[in-house]
Amino acid sequence: MTLRMYDWHNGPYPARVRIALAEKDLQSHVQFVSVNLRKGEHKTEEFRAKNYSGTLPVLELDDGTLIAECTAITEYLDTLDGQPTLTGRTPREKGVIHMMSRRAELEVLDAISIYFHHATPGLGPHVEVYQNREWGLYQRDKAVRGMRYFDGVLRGQSFVAGEDFSMADIALIGGMIFAAMLEVQVPVECDALVSWYARMWERPSVQNWQAMSA
């Protein structure tokens, strides 16, 4: 099995899939193809033929099938061996993990992304053809509120979706990585979130992403 992954080495969204790959010990099966975000290569007609949304990452299978969206890619990778560890084993686990993963996206990761694209220079004028600074700043503040929400969650359990590491944790890690890149500060009172994030950096999969993104 040889998989081809179109991504960018230090992108917060590609980080999610790279961490999942490491958790499943699948790195040796993947050929990474760099798509330069800074040059807008993900918005070209050539790349949009692979992913209409013009976003990263994208996974290409041996038979040419293309899978975009981090959740979909992670689901595929996690079930390849018939022993899912990131997306849930029971219907209840799957439901809670997918719910909390989506919340991590909506409340933190995607909000930070909107802030980046609208209220900062983003990827530059050749990519950021429309910006709404007010909307971007609102989303930054939403992300901070999201951090407070997850701090509350993590005061009562070890991981985002319960007592096991999952895709939901990976989604929030992506949001925290993006926030750090943009110097969006975690509220000082969010000590449970800060403690959780420090533990996440102790995982070999996250350390592996850091090494690959340097």
pLDDT tens per residue across span 186-202: 999 999 999 999 999 99
Q: Which residue has the higher pLDDT, 98 or 1?
A: 98
Q: What is the DSSP letter of 64?
A: S
Both structure tokens of 138: 């609102």
pLDDT above 90: residue 126:
no
Question: What percent of the chain is modeled with pLDDT above 70?
Answer: 100
Provide mean pLDDT across the span 106-119. Answer: 98
CA pair distance 118, 115, nearest whole angstrom:
5
Q: Which of 141, 164, 162 is nearest to 153 (CA)?
A: 162
pLDDT above 90: residue 163:
yes
Q: What are phi and psi of 176, to 5 degrees?
A: -70, -35
Which class does domain 91-203 fall in?
mainly alpha
- pTM, whole model, 2 decimals? 0.96
- Indicate left, alpha or beta for 101 from its phi (over 0: left) and psi (-120 to 50: alpha): alpha
Q: How confident is the model at residue 1 (pLDDT cuts 50, 70, 90)?
A: confident
Segment among 39-43, 179-183, 207-211 with least mean pLDDT: 207-211
pLDDT tens per residue across span 74-84: 999 999 999 99
Q: Looking at domain 3-79, does it have CATH number 3.40.30.10?
A: yes
Q: Do domains 3-79 and 91-203 have the same CATH topology?
A: no
Question: What percent of the chain is modeled with pLDDT above 90?
Answer: 94
- Residue 212: per-residue pLDDT: 83
Provide mean pLDDT across the span 144-156. Answer: 98
Domain boundaries, the chain: 3-79, 91-203
Find out whether 135 and 128 touch, Cβ atoms under 8 Å.
no
pLDDT tens per residue across span 198-212: 999 999 999 998 888
